[in-house]
């Protein structure tokens, strides 16, 4: 979990006054156990005043939101899904209609799928809304006489949900998201429903906006005393309606939900600072800006591999982007993806060096951090850096040369990948786990005129390398035949820019005056 009040995310409670107001308004409150006293509101409370053409057991899904792939959900975002969202630019070549991805697109596909470990709620809400408003036909997943609710999990449906999920982070979808007051939300929903349209309704847990969730608004009810209930389909809870309780006069709201009294209550609290967000449905189907071609900004994704769709197993931690000296950078924008709370994205002004700092891990826990830096012409990524409680990890990023240097106050390991492309070919270089910790650091990047370098500072390393080259003809791979020794202070240079794709790839290790050849073999 990201920046916020650590250790209290799902245990936040409404004040006694709020509980009294809820009861006074005539709401039916379901107790959630003695340790979590937030109210769960009866979605049939009050008087119906407006509704969308949406029924949870017709237009919602019969299965609940999920995180990592499992036995029921075996497929994530595919290459064809990337192509459907971003266009043919993600393809190194297209043969008989089949897209072979660039190495950059392949790396991003992996990063996008890992970002959904905390849930697919935005993708599920977007697809349910598109089906319900007839913008998208569920055939052949459902026959014309079958409701969406009858569709069980399948690889094609999983992939389609994943495809919808990633649109939230790129134009045009991210440009049309709007934070709204309670009054604006109620007005826009009623207007949309009158014209048979709708929105995805996105909410954050608190004013720190440390966790997000996306749901479908389906009705408005008058709860008395000026309060309104927004009835929703929540993809965490299939087949049932839930309700957000809103106070237009105070511009505040809360959403408290659980399936039964034995489960922890999930509480989201809105305020004039923590507003609701409405996302129009139509732009989600449009072609989105190809992240590989973005030149105006650097895109940063930081995620934690812990946790699931409902927050189980989540670890609280903090992340921020500063300049290399730790100062704020004007123009940096942070956003939490709507998938629970294990992924944050930042946009940083183009060509600006910066630092990503991860710390504040809750006591007794360890965050498992991935970080990806995407800039014009390529991407550099780090995976599986363990940051325990009390530790501070820093990632110094050079987006121009697609490089990063990683340090940590606690011992850990991480793997790295650098992918670049031009009009003729794309290249990627990946490492196995490298040691990082007190007194040691690792730097990787496209920092050599001939290709990629990996440098170890403070300690010796052993690693394996894999290089992939994709062009209009074929894909070629070269690997190190065994572990490569990298002495402390040494640099290995992998001249991927000069490799034609056949024959050995002549990497070299430079340690002081010593130069050792370590050729990588084609596979």
What would the pLDDT profile of 236-247 be if each residue is shown by its tens digit?
A: 999 999 999 999
Residue 85 and residue 289: Cα distance in Å, rounded? Answer: 8
Q: Are residues 390 and 260 in the same domain?
A: no
Indicate the residue among 285, 304, 323 that finishes a domain. Answer: 285
Indicate the residue among 257, 285, 313 that finishes a domain. Answer: 285
Cα–Cα distances in angstroms (integers) from residue 437 to residues 246, 434, 454, 458, in the given order: 48, 10, 16, 9
| pLDDT attached to residue 264 | 62
Q: Are residues 417 and 442 in the same domain?
A: yes
| pLDDT attached to residue 31 | 29
Q: Are residues 364 and 487 in the same domain?
A: yes
| pLDDT attached to residue 312 | 61
286: tokens are 């449009």
Residue 40 lies in a domain: no
Q: Are residues 486 and 374 in the same domain?
A: yes
Residue 7 lies in a domain: no
CA neighbours closer than 13 Å in the CB half-sphere of residue 72: 9
Q: Are residues 254 and 331 in the same domain?
A: no
Q: Are residues 328 and 411 in the same domain?
A: yes
Q: Are residues 331 and 363 in the same domain?
A: yes
Q: Which residues are paired to 388 by β-bridges?
A: 366
Residue 487 lies in a domain: yes
Residue 491 and residue 515: Cα distance in Å, rounded? Answer: 10
Residue 389 lies in a domain: yes
Residues of the chain with pLDDT under 70: 1-38, 210, 258-265, 292-294, 307-313, 339-342
Residue 492 and residue 481: Cα distance in Å, rounded? Answer: 15
Residue 179 and residue 479: Cα distance in Å, rounded? Answer: 49
Please state the domain count of the chain: 2
Indicate the residue among 251, 285, 319 that finishes a domain. Answer: 285
| pLDDT attached to residue 124 | 96
Q: Which domain holds residue 341?
A: 293-522
Q: Are residues 135 and 268 in the same domain?
A: yes
Q: Are residues 269 and 187 in the same domain?
A: yes
CB 335 within 8 A of CB 345: yes
| pLDDT attached to residue 13 | 29
Q: What is the pTM of this model?
A: 0.84
Using alpha carbons, select from 77, 73, 51 the residue that is nearest to residue 64.
73
Residue 418 and residue 429: Cα distance in Å, rounded? Answer: 5
Q: Are residues 186 and 207 in the same domain?
A: yes
Using alpha carbons, select from 53, 240, 52, 58 the residue that is nearest to residue 149.
58
Q: Are residues 208 and 60 in the same domain?
A: yes
Cα–Cα distances in angstroms (integers) from residue 458 to residues 436, 442, 513, in the given order: 9, 9, 18
Residue 35 lies in a domain: no
Q: Say which residues have a Cβ less than 8 Å from residue 383's Cβ, sequence separation at least 6.
A: 114, 370, 414, 415, 416, 417
| pLDDT attached to residue 88 | 93
pLDDT digits (tens, 9 = 90+) for 171-202: 999 889 999 999 999 999 999 999 999 999 99
Q: Are residues 318 and 441 in the same domain?
A: yes
């Amino acid at each position: 979990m990201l920046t916020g009040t650590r250790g209290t995310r799902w245990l936040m409670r409404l004040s006694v006054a709020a509980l009294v107001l809820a009861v006074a308004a005539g709401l039916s409150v379901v107790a959630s156990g003695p340790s979590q006293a937030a109210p769960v509101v009866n979605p049939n409370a009050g008087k119906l005043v407006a509704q969308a053409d949406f029924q949870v057991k017709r237009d919602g899904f019969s299965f609940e939101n999920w995180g990592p792939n499992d036995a029921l959900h075996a497929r994530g975002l595919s290459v064809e899904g990337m192509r459907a969202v971003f266009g043919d630019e993600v393809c190194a070549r297209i043969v008989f209609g089949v897209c072979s991805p660039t190495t950059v697109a392949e790396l991003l596909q992996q990063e996008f799928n890992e970002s959904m470990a905390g849930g697919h709620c935005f993708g599920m809400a977007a697809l349910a809304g598109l089906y319900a408003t007839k913008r998208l036909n569920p055939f052949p997943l459902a026959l014309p006489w079958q409701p969406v609710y009858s569709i069980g999990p399948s690889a094609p449906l999983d992939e389609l949900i994943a495809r919808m999920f990633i649109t939230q982070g790129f134009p045009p979808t991210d440009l049309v998201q709007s934070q709204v007051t309670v009054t604006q939300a109620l007005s826009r929903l009623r207007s949309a429903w009158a014209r048979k349209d709708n929105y995805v309704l996105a909410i954050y847990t608190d004013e720190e906006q440390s966790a997000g969730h996306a749901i479908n608004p389906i009705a408005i009810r008058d709860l008395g005393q000026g309060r309104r209930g927004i009835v929703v389909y929540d993809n965490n809870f299939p087949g049932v309606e839930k309700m957000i309780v809103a106070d237009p006069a105070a511009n505040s709201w809360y959403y408290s939900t659980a399936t039964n009294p034995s489960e922890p209550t999930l509480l989201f609290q809105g305020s004039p600072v923590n507003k609701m967000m409405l996302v129009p449905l139509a732009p989600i189907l449009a072609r989105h800006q190809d992240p590989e071609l973005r030149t105006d900004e650097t895109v940063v994704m930081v995620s934690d591999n812990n946790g699931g769709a409902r927050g189980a197993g989540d670890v609280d931690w903090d992340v921020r982007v500063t300049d290399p000296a730790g100062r704020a950078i004007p123009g940096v924008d942070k956003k939490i993806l709507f998938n629970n709370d294990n992924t944050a994205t930042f946009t940083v002004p183009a060509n600006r060096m910066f630092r990503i700092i991860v710390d504040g891990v809750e006591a007794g826990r360890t965050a498992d951090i991935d970080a990806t830096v995407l800039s014009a012409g390529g991407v550099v990524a780090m995976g599986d850096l363990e940051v325990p409680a009390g530790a501070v990890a820093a990632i110094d990023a050079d987006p121009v040369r697609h490089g990063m240097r990683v340090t940590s106050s606690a011992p850990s390991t991480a793997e790295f990948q650098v992918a670049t492309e031009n009009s003729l070919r794309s290249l990627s270089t990946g490492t196995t786990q490298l040691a990082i910790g007190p007194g040691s650091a690792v730097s990787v990047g496209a920092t050599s005129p001939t290709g990629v370098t990996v440098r170890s500072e403070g300690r010796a390393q052993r690693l394996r390398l894999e290089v992939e080259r994709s062009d209009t003809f074929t894909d070629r791979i070269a690997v190190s035949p065994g572990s490569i020794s990298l002495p402390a202070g040494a640099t290995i240079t992998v001249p991927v820019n000069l490799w034609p794709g056949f024959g050995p790839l002549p990497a070299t290790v430079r340690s002081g005056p010593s130069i050792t050849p370590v050729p990588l073999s084609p596979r």
